[in-house]
């Protein structure tokens, strides 16, 4: 069982354009898609599509459109009533895969509701293999929310606590490092921000530099770093080694949810007892498959092609090696 917590879920609407987006103009959409969203929700959708038991924990009233959509897709979930409507996000995708997103901030939860959400996910996490803390935080949440949940989980369950994976951005992701999560999943921009590198493009251009940056997070107490580097592939760094995975070139339709699918692929493989390189291979295969699908569609295991993914073993960048 894998539990996910999505504090700021959304109803994701994707609009596909046949031509490049033209600001200030009227354009006709080629197609439109709508799915329940938020990182943890997307991960559960991908897990369920592959027959792996999961539970999405999130705030939201029983009749909220996001929860209605989850029920329609038969995604196991548990919502905490908050008396407010969850947010909607819009993504506009162009023919070459370029994606423009507009995300609403989401409803503000009271301090009591925040505490209830923490208690709800801790209760459900008993006996789980992984707890995934994912996505942005709603207005009013403390930046160390994910770190607090991680610490409380381990205090409550000790050695029996599930492994913790965190996929977020900005201050919540930075604060989570202190809690020593088992897995951190940044993209290139987030990895650059976490490690003080001014140019995220340099990390995508130089995977060895990215590996060195990720290693600083492992040295700081993170168990493993799964970094998605866009078209350059995906990187996995642990205390034991570093690996880079590259998928064959694809025709991208939408990058919405591709990183979430990559994390789901990693978890699917980890549950089978796979080695770190094998987990990375499936992560890359899942991410590539998701990017080739419309909207925020997530792939099932049988829709991925891990055999086509090349995994390379390499050392960290010399400038980033431990002294």
- For the annotated catalytic residues, the residue numbers are 260
Separation CA 119–CA 98 (nearest Å): 39
Separation CA 149–CA 86 (nearest Å): 22
Copy the structure tokens of residue 305. Answer: 């092609």
Copy the structure tokens of residue 264. Answer: 């789901």
User: Reduced to 3 states, what is the DSSP secondary structure of residue 150?
Assistant: helix
Yes or no: say if 234 and 192 are a contact pair by the CB < 8 Å rule.
no
User: Reduced to 3 states, what is the DSSP secondary structure of residue 128?
Assistant: coil
Yes or no: say if 258 and 289 are a contact pair by the CB < 8 Å rule.
no
Yes or no: say if 82 and 89 are a contact pair by the CB < 8 Å rule.
no
Yes or no: say if 26 and 8 are a contact pair by the CB < 8 Å rule.
no
In 3D space, the residue among 284, 291, 234 whose CA is nearest the CA of residue 257 turns out to be 291
In 3D space, the residue among 162, 95, 97 whose CA is nearest the CA of residue 123 turns out to be 162
């Amino acid at each position: 069982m894998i539990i996910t917590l999505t504090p700021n879920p959304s109803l994701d609407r994707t609009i596909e354009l046949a031509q490049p987006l033209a600001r200030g103009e009227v354009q006709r959409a080629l197609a439109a898609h709508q799915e329940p969203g938020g990182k943890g929700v997307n991960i559960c959708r991908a897990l369920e599509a592959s027959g792996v038991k999961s539970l999405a924990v999130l705030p939201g009233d029983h009749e909220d459109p996001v929860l209605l959509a989850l029920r329609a897709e038969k995604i196991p979930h548990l919502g905490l009533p908050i008396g407010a409507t969850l947010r909607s996000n819009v993504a506009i995708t162009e023919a070459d895969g370029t994606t423009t997103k507009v995300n609403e901030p989401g409803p503000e939860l009271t301090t009591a509701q925040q505490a209830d959400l923490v208690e709800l996910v801790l209760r459900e996490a008993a006996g789980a293999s992984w707890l995934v803390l994912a996505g942005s935080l709603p207005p009013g949440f403390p930046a160390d929310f994910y770190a607090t949940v991680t610490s409380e989980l381990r205090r409550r369950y000790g050695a029996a606590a599930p492994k913790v994976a965190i996929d977020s951005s900005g201050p919540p992701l930075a604060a989570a490092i202190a809690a020593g999560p088992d897995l951190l999943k940044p993209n290139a921009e987030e990895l650059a921000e976490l490690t003080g590198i001014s140019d995220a493009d340099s990390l995508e251009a130089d995977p060895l530099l990215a590996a060195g940056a990720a290693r600083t997070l492992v040295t700081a107490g993170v168990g493993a770093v799964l970094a998605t580097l866009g078209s350059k592939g995906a990187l996995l760094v642990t205390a034991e080694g570093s690996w880079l995975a590259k998928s064959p070139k694809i025709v991208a339709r939408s990058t919405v949810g591709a990183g979430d699918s990559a994390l789901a692929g990693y978890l699917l493989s980890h549950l089978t007892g796979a080695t770190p390189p094998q987990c990375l291979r499936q992560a890359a295969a899942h991410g590539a498959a998701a990017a080739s699908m419309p909207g925020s569609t997530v792939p099932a295991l049988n829709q991925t092609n891990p055999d086509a993914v090349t995994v390379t073993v390499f050392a960290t960048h010399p400038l980033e090696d431990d002294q």
